[in-house]
Structure 1
Amino acid sequence: METEQQPFAQALMSVDEIWFLFISFIESVVTPGWRQNQVLIVLGLAALCYCLHIVSGSIIDKQVRAREGWSKWQLRMIVQIKRRMGLIWFAVLAGGLYMIMQQVTWPSRSYFIGLAATLAVVWTGIAYATRLVRNRFLRRLVTWGLWIYATLYLVGVSDEVSAFLDGLALEIGDFRMSVLTLLSAAVVIGVFFTVARLISGTTASSIRKNEDISPSMQVLAVKAVQITLYGFAFFMGVKAVGIDLTGLAVLSGAIGVGLGFGLQKVVSNLVSGVIILLDKSIKPGDVISLGETFGWINSLGARYVSVVTRDGKEYLIPNEDLITGQVVNWSHSDAYVRLDIYFGTSYGCDPHQVRKLAIQAATDVDRVLSHPKLPVCHIVGFGDSSVDYILRFWIKDPTGGLTNIRGNVYLALWDVFKDNDISIPFPQREVRMLAEEQDMLRDGTEG
């Protein structure tokens, strides 16, 4: 019993110590003297730096808008510098004032100013360093965690606060989880995740540049590297802060069973994604048709495939639909695609000449291949008012669209038929009036 109450007693002692230090600081600030003067100087510098932040921010905006051709990373860097200009000005001015006061007066009379300058430099460095954390929530958590820890450490109360947070703990048998452990785990895991992201990004770039690896295997290799590195970063982060996961084995098993039943579709899509990558049925850049959706594969995700259509829409198709449904891959084995168009000419036109002109018209259209696959034209039937033909031609860039190339070939047929007096029949109706019917109609009109 005495052992169980010890952490709580330590937390109470830490609170008393922190409160005593806080009261002592307030009393020293209220009492006239150099400490009060330093606090007033720091507040004045903060107000001045806020004004400088606004002025310098507007100057940066004007300079950026006056120039063109900035890359995205340059714009992001300028935005971050603009956001932190207040801290940068404070660090420069407070640091300069501190160095001057160190030379002209007693060191103790500039202690708070030097501490404020140091905090500004550390906060600015942390703000820029944590930009490497891509996840916004995790980045904010790591940033604020490091800011708070750096502040407490420089002020000299980090041990007392750590003891207080460590005293706020949940204990179940041998398992113990404190607030300090949770916060430390979040910061450490965030740092490990950032390192893992940098390594995985470099590795992914190297894999994508390797032309000996197929696109689908490149995606699979990148996903495998990311999962391995992030998993390793998580467990290393948990291990680094001393969290024992053996006590959570039973609980995690029960949660895993519940998730297995509740997330069947998600797991199915994940497994389907792995199968798609392994069998290489589709890969980035392929042109596919699934139902009424026609477009090319933009990216392969863990849960879905991104398909971009000609009108700019991006469809996120679950991987399971690509495994269980009928998918037309226009560029699975090669990029050649054959297109067929139908037309008819009147019976008075020479079919040999029509076929020759149709092939010539298709060959002259851009994107239509003339080698190694030539356009061909065949008669497919004798209709009621026309001789029916089929014109077949090949393209090798289906991502450029199918409807537009068909339209261009139809226009070429129209032009070549018009120049060579080839008529395209259309339905006509002829009405004849018999003599008796004309008399009856005339009598009815007179009556």
Structure 2
Amino acid sequence: MNNEINFIWREIVQDFSTISVLWQLAVIAVVFAISALLNLHLQRQIAEGRVNTVYKMLLGGVERLFFPFTAFLLLVIARYALDGWMHVGVLRLVSRMLMAMVIIRSIVYILRYVFSPSAWLHSFERAITWSIWVVVALHLSGFLDQVLQVFEDVQFSVGKQKLNLLLLMQGMLTIVVTMLVALWLSRMIELRLMASANMNSNWRVIMVKLVRMVAIVIALLVSLAAVGIDVTMLSVFGGALGVGLGFGLQKIASNYVSGFIILMDKSLHMGDVVTISSHYGIVKELRSRYMILRKLDGTEVIIPNETMITDVVINHTSAAHKAKVPIPIQISYESDLDQAMQILKEVGVAHQRTIKDETAVDVIIKAFGESGIDLQLSVWVADPEEGSAKLQSEIYYAIWQRFKQSNIQIPYPQRDVRIISTPNVMPAMDM
């Protein structure tokens, strides 16, 4: 058994016959009570909006992580303060268990912060939790060194290099932890970048993708160096990957390059209303390989980035992120044209989605049709991503109500049929 663990258990056994164990249990109870009160106070601060966004983002799952972390710090302080007065074996034992709880909840928080909730994530969290508690149990029982020695004795060779099971497990753990920390940090930077109002949306997306790529590459290099793998060996892999991209992965590489081109030339933005081939909808998300287009019926279309480079794309949204919605209508020749145009303009200005500007509403005469006068009401809206069907329906209904009040008629299709009389020729009769 480990000497330190053996010493802790001997102290605990001796303290059961003294009042020292009661003092230690009282200290633990006070520490837990203070931690719970601090946790409750911080939760209230966050719920009332008194904690800034950065602090809230750093804490994450405050109700799960803050309590054991605070209790661990207070217990360590109490342990060092009482070490010269009494035995602190119970405090050392509980502090180790709290440290395990902090590690477990920190890992779970990072996993839930980086990845979306799913069945595999829940199973992975349970596996991590049980693994850490098994390690803690082996450590407290004093058998951890023996188990690690057994793993170290299991040796094998990979090429000219000799490895053992313990080294392999340490390397895998280093890589996983480094990658999780890198993804967590990149996720925090992404949220800050996406919340920035001083940066163009396209540049925000570009910076987010670059930050994640750089974080993954740095984490991979650091973890491989920590394990002892020569990173110069990756040059061969990089050359093979380049050849693969040149031949077998042309479409994927083309879509990735096209995605960066679209973001950098600012031809498309999230929220734009576009027509690509036969698809009309709103740009919901721009990703490295494809774009997600949300159609007006709620369905989503995944369009590769290369398609938007090679095909014609109609952007119905202006650079100022506003769109023009045409509303054609016809009135009869007997109706008052000036009054009808005035009503159309008033209805367009009165709608809540119309931009409050003198040039945002326009009424023009399109043509003199067969059945009536063709007019067109055009309104500019600042939220084209909300669609135009409901807007047109509401404006048409308001026009209908105003036209009925002003006795302005919407004509039926009219056709003039003329019958030209012909001489009545009697057919000859056979005799």
TM-score by length of 2: 0.65
In 1, Cα distance between equivalents of 2:344 and 2:318? 29
Secondary structure at the counterpart of residue 358 of structure 2: coil
- 1:343 matched residue in structure 2: 329
- 2:374 matched residue in structure 1: 388
The 8 Å contact of residues 281 and 332 in structure 1, kept in 2 or not, is answered as no
Q: Does 1:223 find its partner at 2:201?
A: no
Are the structure 2 counterparts of residues 147 and 289 from structure 1 closer, same or farther at C-alpha, using a change threshold of 3 Å?
farther
In 2, Cα distance between equivalents of 1:142 and 1:248? 30
How many percent of aligned residue pairs carry the same amino acid? 28
- 1:377 matched residue in structure 2: 364
Q: Shift in Å at residue 268 of structure 1?
A: 3.3
Mapping of residues 14-413 of structure 1, within 5 Å: 76-78=61-63, 117=94, 119-130=96-107, 131-133=109-111, 134=113, 146-208=132-194, 210-246=196-232, 250=236, 263-290=249-276, 291-297=278-284, 299-309=285-295, 313-369=299-355, 370-383=357-370, 385-413=371-399
* Greater fraction helix: 1
Secondary structure at the counterpart of residue 372 of structure 1: helix
- 1:54 matched residue in structure 2: none
Q: Shift in Å at residue 339 of structure 1?
A: 2.2
The 8 Å contact of residues 378 and 389 in structure 1, kept in 2 or not, is answered as yes
Q: Shift in Å at residue 324 of structure 1?
A: 3.4
Match of 2:405 among 411, 419, 423: 419
In 1, Cα distance between equivalents of 2:225 and 2:193? 30
Q: Shift in Å at residue 378 of structure 1?
A: 0.7
Q: Shift in Å at residue 121 of structure 1?
A: 2.6
Are the structure 2 counterparts of residues 233 and 282 from structure 1 closer, same or farther at C-alpha, using a change threshold of 3 Å?
same
Q: Shift in Å at residue 414 of structure 1?
A: 1.4
CA-atom RMSD in angstroms:
5.2
Are the structure 2 counterparts of residues 167 and 244 from structure 1 closer, same or farther at C-alpha, using a change threshold of 3 Å?
farther
In 1, Cα distance between equivalents of 2:244 and 2:339? 72
TM-score by length of 1: 0.63
Q: Shift in Å at residue 198 of structure 1?
A: 4.4
The 8 Å contact of residues 104 and 128 in structure 2, kept in 1 or not, is answered as no
User: Mean Cα displacement is larger for which, 343-352 or 204-213?
Assistant: 204-213
Secondary structure at the counterpart of residue 367 of structure 1: coil
- 1:52 matched residue in structure 2: none
Q: Shift in Å at residue 154 of structure 1?
A: 4.7
The 8 Å contact of residues 185 and 241 in structure 1, kept in 2 or not, is answered as yes
- Count residues with an aligned counterpart: 374
Are the structure 2 counterparts of residues 335 and 371 from structure 1 closer, same or farther at C-alpha, using a change threshold of 3 Å?
farther
The 8 Å contact of residues 269 and 319 in structure 1, kept in 2 or not, is answered as yes
In 1, Cα distance between equivalents of 2:262 and 2:288? 10
The 8 Å contact of residues 245 and 253 in structure 2, kept in 1 or not, is answered as no
One-letter identity of the residue aligned with 1:120: M
Q: Shift in Å at residue 228 of structure 1?
A: 1.0
The 8 Å contact of residues 141 and 186 in structure 1, kept in 2 or not, is answered as no
In 2, Cα distance between equivalents of 1:167 and 1:362? 82
Which runs of no fewer than 5 residues in structure 2 stay unpaired? 2-12, 17-42, 116-120, 419-431
Are the structure 2 counterparts of residues 337 and 129 from structure 1 closer, same or farther at C-alpha, using a change threshold of 3 Å?
closer
- 1:25 matched residue in structure 2: none
Q: Deviations over 1:206-251 (max 9, x none)?
A: 4345544311112111221221122111210111121235567656
In 2, Cα distance between equivalents of 1:247 and 1:309? 47
In 1, Cα distance between equivalents of 2:142 and 2:259? 52
Are the structure 2 counterparts of residues 344 and 312 from structure 1 closer, same or farther at C-alpha, using a change threshold of 3 Å?
closer
One-letter identity of the residue aligned with 2:396: Y
User: Mean Cα displacement is larger for which, 412-421 or 151-160?
Assistant: 151-160
User: Mean Cα displacement is larger for which, 114-123 or 412-421?
Assistant: 114-123
Q: Deviations over 1:408-439 (max 9, x none)?
A: 2212321222122121122479999xxxxxxx
In 2, Cα distance between equivalents of 1:116 and 1:170? 37
Are the structure 2 counterparts of residues 419 and 235 from structure 1 closer, same or farther at C-alpha, using a change threshold of 3 Å?
same
Which runs of no fewer than 5 residues in structure 1 stay unpaired? 1-20, 22-33, 38-63, 433-447
Q: Deviations over 1:12-47 (max 9, x none)?
A: xxxxxxxxx8xxxxxxxxxxxx89x9xxxxxxxxxx
